[in-house]
Amino acid sequence: MKETPAIRLSGLRKTFGSSTAVDGVDLTVRPGEVVALLGPNGAGKSTTIDLALGLARPSAGTAELFGGDPRRAIRDGRVGAMLQGGALLPTLTVAESVALVAAAHKHPLSVAEALERARCTEIAKQRVAKLSGGQMQRARFAVAVVSNPDLLFLDEPTAAMDVEARRTFWVSMREFTAEGRTVVFATHYLDEADAYADRIVMLARGRIVADGTPTEVKAVVSGRRIRATAGFAWTGDASAAISALPGVRTVEYRAGLLTVVSDDSDATLRGLLAAHDDLHDIEVTAHTMDEAFLALTDQRDPEGAIR
């Protein structure tokens, strides 16, 4: 029997007057996937999440969660959400906020478990109005998971968190996803998408411009980077000779560090070592998610999407 998708977006479009926020998005997410939504500001990430949750009415197209109306899945407690605009009552404590949401669902987690999952136990008795930005994000996460959802939407979940708080958050998220839950998170931290997502969906100008594993998305930027410390004098002739090696696209030399981008790193490296036996500390690396992000979101033709 064919598995019902956790999310199915078909021809989804949303306009605000003359502005188009989401422009024909087709997206299917299988149960158990962890999907990152990437894109520059204004790419349509938050609007896509709002449409998927039924919080906004599409101008065209449809959104389904678990094969039906998103609002039904939410009423059944199958969906949790941590949204940028989600406000908690400032006079309640964190524990009271979680308990209030738990009371609205049929089969919630215990308040204590939700607080533990979100690493909020130590701030459970603090009033919402007194929380720092990072603490507020953790409290929102506790509220999002207390319904014990099968599907979780997170919109910029680690905004306002410091490095240590981000690390702690993703440890708790790994525990959540290890149970086979489906997670869709929008983020502007490219390292988070690379490290924690099974799949990356990149948006630009309201359209999907890339959809694949982190490795597949990074492979859009062809070639590899060779870095080495050079023991030879850098001259115009040396630059020209290296630029003429097989596969070389760009050459840069700065403060003794040689950086070569090549479409054929093996051939380039053999040529470099044949000509310069004084190279050392050699590194050959794939392109980064940052470079793929810049290359894809700077496309002038949205029809050139990769799948």
More confident residue, 210 or 299: 210
Q: How many residues are given for the chain? A: 307
The domains located in the chain, with CATH, are: 7-78+149-218 (3.40.50.300), 224-286 (3.30.70.100)
Using one digit for the tens of pLDDT, what is the confidence trace for 210-222? 899 988 887 766 6
Q: Are 290 and 249 in contact (CB under 8 A)?
A: no
Angle, alpha carbons 77-79-85 (nearest 5°): 115
Q: Is the pLDDT of residue 185 over 90?
A: yes
Q: What does the pLDDT read at residue 303?
A: 43
Rounded to the nearest 5°, which phi and psi values hold at 138?
-65, -40
Using one digit for the tens of pLDDT, what is the confidence trace for 188-212? 888 888 889 999 999 988 999 889 9
Q: How far is CA 105 from CA 84, 109, 170, 174, 260, in A?
A: 22, 9, 25, 24, 57
* Residue 154's pLDDT band (cuts 50, 70, 90): very high
Radius of gyration of the chain (CA): 24
Q: What does the pLDDT read at residue 120?
A: 95
Average pLDDT over residues 78-92: 88
Q: What does the pLDDT read at residue 261?
A: 87
pTM for this entry = 0.76
Q: Is the pLDDT of residue 149 over 90?
A: yes
Rounded to the nearest 5°, which phi and psi values hold at 25?
-85, 125
Query: Pick from 200, 87, 198, 81: which is nearest to 151 by CA?
Result: 81
Residues 6+ apart with CB under 8 A from 50: 56, 83
Burial group, residue 17, by CB count within 10 angstroms (0-12, 13-18, 19+): exposed
